[in-house]
Structure 1
């Protein structure tokens, strides 16, 4: 019988057959890691250091360095030359601008507006801030048809007149809103337009307290509307409205649809903002762990 032989040791720097080297990863896993790093940035987490990222995601410091450097090389991150910490880079702006120029935000909102218009039978719209106004960027008509003879998309609504704008401005920081609006002349669009600052503050406070706004003929004497803010955390990014012409007779009251309006606002907020993952992947150990508060 030939003598038993011992397998040759693996060359230095390699892994024996049948075993997985630590920190090895497939291309898909590498992509997942990079995306998780980008998604971890937020208003409260604006930069990462190599050691912090390694500790938070359960990877080695060398892997953390390679991830951050690779993302920086493509412009998704940028490194501060003095602190050596990484913040979001210009490629993120280019991607966001490309998405917006392609109508990405409007298309995203239209998915939600279509359901809201079908549920209420009225026109549903989504507006975003534009200086002292909000601007409509998406609208879907309900079964009763359009509110006006021209499309709503592109219309501007002043901060002081109507539920659509009030639902946004009411949820701004009160001091920021006061600095923005105080001392400005307020145009009177109809006899119902509030042009007194104290009166406007009361309307804003009411909308903030209830979580939605109602108006009837403040900006356009022929329409009434309900509106709710689209909130990312506590910050408004726009408002969703349901609008009806006053000349139509309806079987229900517009305000009966406030629950559907609030659900639509929450749904759109969820599409716009991916909340922090409750458990982050520990890639080195091959399991998940709870995210740190």
Structure 2
């Protein structure tokens, strides 16, 4: 295979690297594969450059080529890189930057949770000056979809049909006398959360704590929830809800950290395309 770097007349090495990264970042749930001509047209490349870039990424396993359609989709090297990143605490370590600031500014424990089936799971937490809310670490705790602000801030912002299919007909455990177990009333709580943009709870999951939580959304799709949590036995000089704006700002900050910077397509003009004769 022709090398992409050091080639006389070709793009400089860093530009080639940047183009390869743009290709990888262009994949999404709506764009799961590329053809050579599609890619060339979308990013303003000529056909041979498009072919070389896709082939080079396929050789290294970042893409795989369908031998029949000759279209390219993500390859096993992407899974390997993602696994290494996650084993190194990738998502949790990113969240901790935001959690530490939120805990310092509010004095409360801040936690980030991600979906795990019918629950959300805490993957990162930082205590505020009010101290820990549990005698055991929060990381790893599961919060059921129907009980508490942490889970409601995620499930409320799912597509309503997806949410109803997930929860409808499911038995709901009662964790305290404040836990809502009626399906209709629970759906109203989800709708109320969507209207306000945040969720609150006061002992409906854990009778000893109260919490407010906000969704963390990427392109309007919820990927988790950000929570500030306080033990009821600790007296604070302010009210938990006084920190709603700080919480919402932190959720946006975390979403920005988690959002990949997708490339901007550079489609060629009609004149340029007509001047290029496609190779069969």
The verdict on a shared fold, with TM-score over 0.5 as the criterion, is yes
Q: What's the TM-score once normalised by structure 1's chain length?
A: 0.85
Q: Superposition RMSD on alpha carbons, in Å?
A: 1.7
1:11 aligns with none
Larger radius of gyration: 1
The 1:279–1:175 alpha-carbon spacing in structure 2 relative to 1, beyond 3 Å, is closer
Q: Distance in 2 between matches of 1:213 and 1:280?
A: 41
1:267 aligns with 253
Does residue 214 (structure 1) correspond to residue 200 (structure 2)? The answer is yes
2:150 aligns with 164
1:48 maps to which of 31, 34, 52: 34
Aligned with 2:97: secondary structure? helix
Asked if structure 1 preserves the Cα contact closer than 8 Å seen for 2:42 and 2:265, the reply is no
Asked if structure 1 preserves the Cα contact closer than 8 Å seen for 2:217 and 2:224, the reply is yes
Alignment of 1:106-121 (within 5 A): 106-121=92-107
Deviation at 1:129, TM superposition (A): 0.9
Does residue 124 (structure 1) correspond to residue 110 (structure 2)? The answer is yes
1:86 aligns with 72
Does residue 186 (structure 1) correspond to residue 172 (structure 2)? The answer is yes
Name structure 1 gaps, 5 residues minimum. 1-19, 283-293
2:18 maps to which of 18, 32, 37: 32
2:163 aligns with 177
Deviation at 1:173, TM superposition (A): 1.5
Moved more, 161-170 or 272-281: 272-281
Q: Distance in 1 between matches of 2:238 and 2:181?
A: 31
Deviation at 1:38, TM superposition (A): 0.7
Aligned with 2:161: secondary structure? helix
Alignment of 1:39-78 (within 5 A): 39-78=25-64
2:228 aligns with 242
Q: What's the TM-score once normalised by structure 2's chain length?
A: 0.89
Q: Distance in 1 between matches of 2:98 and 2:238?
A: 22
Moved more, 213-222 or 45-54: 45-54
Aligned with 2:112: secondary structure? strand
1:255 aligns with 241
The 1:275–1:210 alpha-carbon spacing in structure 2 relative to 1, beyond 3 Å, is farther
Q: Distance in 2 between matches of 1:34 and 1:275?
A: 14
Name structure 2 gaps, 5 residues minimum. 1-6, 269-280
Q: Distance in 1 between matches of 2:57 and 2:264?
A: 24
> Cα deviations across residues 22-42 of structure 1 (Å, max 9, x unaligned)?
5x2222221111111111112
Q: Which has the higher contact order (CA 8 A, sep 6+)?
A: 2
Deviation at 1:279, TM superposition (A): 6.7
Asked if structure 1 preserves the Cα contact closer than 8 Å seen for 2:112 and 2:124, the reply is yes
The 1:279–1:59 alpha-carbon spacing in structure 2 relative to 1, beyond 3 Å, is closer
Asked if structure 1 preserves the Cα contact closer than 8 Å seen for 2:25 and 2:261, the reply is no
Q: Distance in 2 between matches of 1:154 and 1:75?
A: 33
